[in-house]
């Protein structure tokens, strides 16, 4: 007699790009838990069919649609996946596609995702919940609209922000982000990975560069503005070994389970832009030497994740203050769990597990406790 579905354990499904390492790592975690590999539903199929159906008892993980040229073209409307423009179209089509999924038990809530992928809304939700965040004139549903460089300049004057980040509202992986600094004598410069072609088109690059002509900076910002822009005060950050440092903290089922220090000589600490992993133990020692508690930093991340209670896992970008005294949340990422080989923090309950294993374990734990998975 064959076992029933309930005897065989929960059934997982994942919406993702089948060839992507994210899908492979999650499938590995499911199999490592002694379960059948998840059913993979390709993003390309979801977009072509305008949705997908799942059984009522399937536990559905929504994964990143990135790193696939065909899918990016369907979402962004651009044939070249390195183009920066088109993020508003991407956002509209992605959030619509998520809502076109039918059935199943979701690990990622559509309403949460629509906020997480709008930096203005996300910042406003965090701020309203008392989570420390950089000051922003564009935050929340009533934030000011940025129509171009003139509006950025006006916000800099009005809010006395000589240093700020200009971010595409729906961007990810630092795509289109500019770290802007204004100095005496009208000097201004922007640090960014945006490469501007001769025809004015903008492209993502793996090379961080500086623009020191206001005309060049204005042209980049003006090209990005139609997709929506978010402005944040540039907070001075802690350092490690002479490099600017921040943290990516993964929170699973409300608990900070994994953390990595990211360091860089530029304001952009993303690992794919030349940032490198720092020493987490040294960071913890620096926090405690400053008279703070490491658990307080993790608590800030958990408070940020609590703003999205219907989503199992988020990655929080934590900005430690100079001297490691206190911290603010820069962003909360829906797909911020790609940290291959990193195992859980001591005392987190995820020791020995990677970020994907921790999520599977959380689902199984919740199922055992309440008979239903996290939703």
Tokens of 315: 């990655």
The pLDDT assigned to 67 comes to: 92
pLDDT band at residue 146 under the 50/70/90 scheme: very high
Residue 5 — very low, low, confident or very high, per pLDDT cuts 50/70/90? very low
Which DSSP letter does residue 138 get? T
Calculate the average pLDDT of the chain: 93
Helix or strand holding residue 256 (H, E): strand 255-264
**pLDDT value, residue 269:** 85
The Cα-based distances of 3 to 32, 58, 267 in angstroms read: 20, 17, 55
- For residue 311, the number of C-alpha atoms closer than 13 Å in the C-beta half-sphere is 28
DSSP, collapsed to helix, strand or coil, labels residue 157 as helix
Residue 177: closest CA among 200, 151, 208 = 208
Taking only Cα atoms into account, the Rg of the chain, rounded to an integer number of angstroms, comes to: 21
Tokens at 82, concatenated: 């390195």
pTM: 0.94
Q: Which two tokens stand for residue 281?
A: 């133990």
Give the lowest-confidence range in 114-123, 306-315, 361-370.
Answer: 361-370
CA atoms lying within 13 Å on the CB side of residue 263: 13
| pLDDT for the residue numbered 3 | 39
Interval 167-191: pLDDT, tens: 999 988 888 999 999 988 889 999 9
pLDDT higher than 70, residue 373: no
**How far is it between the farthest Cα atoms of the chain?**
82
Examine the pLDDT at 372 and tell me if it is beyond 60: no
Region 345-364 average pLDDT: 97
Whether 224 has a pLDDT exceeding 70, the answer reads yes
8 Å CB contact between 106 and 375: yes
Q: What confidence tier does 304 reach under pLDDT thresholds 50, 70, 90?
A: very high
Q: Are 312 and 252 in contact (CB under 8 A)?
A: yes
Contacts of residue 21, defined as CB under 8 A and 6 or more positions apart, other chains included, come to 338, 340
State how far the Cα of 339 lies from the Cα of 355, in Å rounded to an integer: 7
- Amino acid 370: pLDDT: 59
User: Which has the closest alpha carbon to 91: 124, 118, 110?
Assistant: 118
| Mean pLDDT value across residues 12-21 | 98
Name which of 35-49, 66-80, 228-242 the model is least confident about. 66-80
Residue position matching structure tokens 């970020």: 355
Helices (H), 33-86: 43-49, 69-76
Check pLDDT > 60 for residue 1: no
Contacts 24+ apart (CB under 8 A), 77-81: 80/203
Given the structure tokens 């171009």, which residue do they identify? 148
- Mean pLDDT within 342-350: 97
The pLDDT value given to residue 83? 86
Q: Which range is least confidently modeled, 2-11, 18-27, 38-47, 329-338?
A: 2-11
Give the pLDDT score at 200.
Answer: 85
């Amino acid at each position: 007699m064959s076992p029933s579905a309930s005897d065989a354990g929960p059934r997982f499904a994942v919406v993702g790009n089948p060839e992507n390492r994210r899908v492979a790592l999650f499938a590995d975690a499911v199999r490592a838990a002694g379960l059948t590999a998840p059913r993979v539903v390709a993003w390309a199929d979801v977009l072509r069919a305008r949705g997908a159906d799942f059984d009522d008892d399937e536990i559905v993980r929504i994964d990143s649609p990135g790193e696939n040229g065909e899918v990016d073209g369907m979402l962004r409307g651009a044939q070249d996946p390195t183009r920066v423009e088109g993020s508003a179209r991407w956002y509209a089509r992605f959030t619509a596609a998520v809502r076109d999924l039918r059935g199943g038990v979701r690990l990622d809530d559509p309403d949460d995702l629509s906020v997480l992928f709008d930096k203005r809304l996300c910042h406003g939700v965090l701020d309203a919940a008392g989570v420390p965040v950089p000051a922003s004139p564009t935050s929340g549903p009533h934030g000011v609209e940025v129509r171009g460089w003139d509006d950025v300049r006006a916000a800099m004057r009005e809010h006395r922000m000589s240093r700020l980040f200009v971010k595409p509202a729906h961007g990810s992986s630092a795509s289109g982000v500019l770290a802007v600094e204004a100095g005496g004598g009208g000097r201004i410069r922007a640090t960014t990975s945006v490469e501007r072609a001769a025809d004015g088109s903008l492209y993502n690059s793996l090379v961080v560069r500086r623009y020191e002509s206001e005309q060049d900076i204005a042209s980049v910002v003006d090209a990005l503005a139609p997709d929506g822009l978010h402005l944040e005060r540039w907070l001075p950050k802690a350092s490690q070994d002479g490099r600017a440092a921040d943290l990516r903290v993964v929170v699973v089922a409300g608990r900070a389970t994994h953390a990595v220090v990211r360091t860089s000589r530029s304001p952009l600490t993303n690992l794919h832009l030349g940032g490198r992993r720092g020493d987490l133990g040294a960071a913890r020692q620096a926090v405690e030497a400053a008279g703070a508690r490491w658990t307080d930093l993790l608590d800030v991340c958990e408070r940020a994740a609590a703003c999205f209670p219907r989503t199992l896992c988020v990655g929080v970008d934590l900005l430690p203050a100079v001297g490691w005294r206190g911290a603010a949340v820069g962003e909360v990422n829906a797909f911020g769990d790609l940290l291959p080989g990193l195992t859980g923090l001591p005392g987190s309950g995820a020791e020995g597990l990677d970020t994907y294993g921790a999520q599977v374990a959380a689902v199984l734990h919740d199922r055992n406790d309440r008979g239903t998975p996290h939703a």
